Amino acid sequence: MAPPRPIDGTLLKQGAEAHVYKSTFLLPTVPCLIKVRPTKPYRHATLDMRLTKHRCVSEARLLNRCRSMGVLCPAVYFVDEKRGEIIMEWIEGPSVRDFLHSHLDGASDPDKEQNSIDVQLDSLMEAIGQTIGKLHDIDIIHGDLTTSNIMLKRRGNSGSMPEAQQTGPALAITEESFSDFDVVLIDFGLGQVSNSDEDKAVDLYVLERAFLSTHPRATRLFNIILDSYKRNCLGSAVVLRRLQEVRLRGRKKSMIG
């Protein structure tokens, strides 16, 4: 395994599987994200190297496959499999998680035109259902479909941005129409290529759990996602039937403890 290099960037997240930095790529005006899989000292060195390499290459391949098939995700700029590093396009925008919090929590604000926000939220959920439908139609299982791993990117954003914006607070979508945003999937670290209906159903189940735990009002929104998935994914009928079984298993499991 190549020794880790010092990363010139801001550490955003130090998870068990990956450290994630915001940095720039080639030009100071092009922001990027560097995802590094750190070595695990408790693992056998050769095994650790193989696993790190495998996961890094697998994630980069899935990202490339998605993009080439029209599912929006970050472009891969550079992969250093020996160091377990992926350098990718920086997605400027909030995660669906932050987005739902800011918009659903503000729901009681009488100054907001709630009806128009609701209609726009619905169309955003439609777009998420469509994206996941497309992903499953090309036989990619995301593996960790949470609301943090779905981002909203401002349309027409080439990736570079004015200096002042780079250090600004996390984006909240305020005045603009939600339809100015694209749904972008990130974090394919647990993803795989599979045509199994069971795998696809589990993907949806993970998202369902994430939605319901993100916000109490999100139940209605998740149903719009499923409805859109049903209309936009060729194999949806079988997957949605399977989802019922996965839910039952999940319930039994939580009853047993």
Ligand X SMILES: Nc1ncnc2c1ncn2[C@@H]1O[C@H](COP(=O)(O)OP(=O)(O)O)[C@@H](O)[C@H]1O
Q: Any idea which residues carry the catalytic annotation?
A: 144
The DSSP letter of residue 178 is G
Binding residues for ligand X restricted to 68-87, rule: CB under 6 A: 74
Closer to ligand X by Cβ: residue 121 or 150: 150
- Establish if 33 lies at the interface with ligand X (CB under 6 A): yes
Going 47 to 199 to 205 to 245, the CA torsion angle's sign is negative
| Residue 29 CB, nearest approach to ligand X (Å) | 16
How many residues can be counted in the chain?
Answer: 257
**Segment interacting with ligand X (CB under 6 A) among 184-192, 196-204, 205-213, 237-245:** 184-192
Q: Which one, of 78, 64, 72, 65, lies nearest residue 23 by Cα?
A: 78
| Residue 218 CB, nearest approach to ligand X (Å) | 18
- Establish if 149 lies at the interface with Mg ion (CB under 5 A): yes
Tokens 């009928």 locate to 237
Closer to ligand X by Cβ: residue 136 or 153: 153
Closer to ligand X by Cβ: residue 48 or 197: 48
Kind and range of the H or E run holding 111? none
- Establish if 148 lies at the interface with ligand X (CB under 6 A): yes
Q: According to DSSP H, which parts of the chain are helical?
A: 45-68, 96-105, 114-137, 163-166, 197-214, 218-232, 236-256
Question: Which parts of this chain interact with Mg ion (CB under 5 A)?
Answer: 149, 187
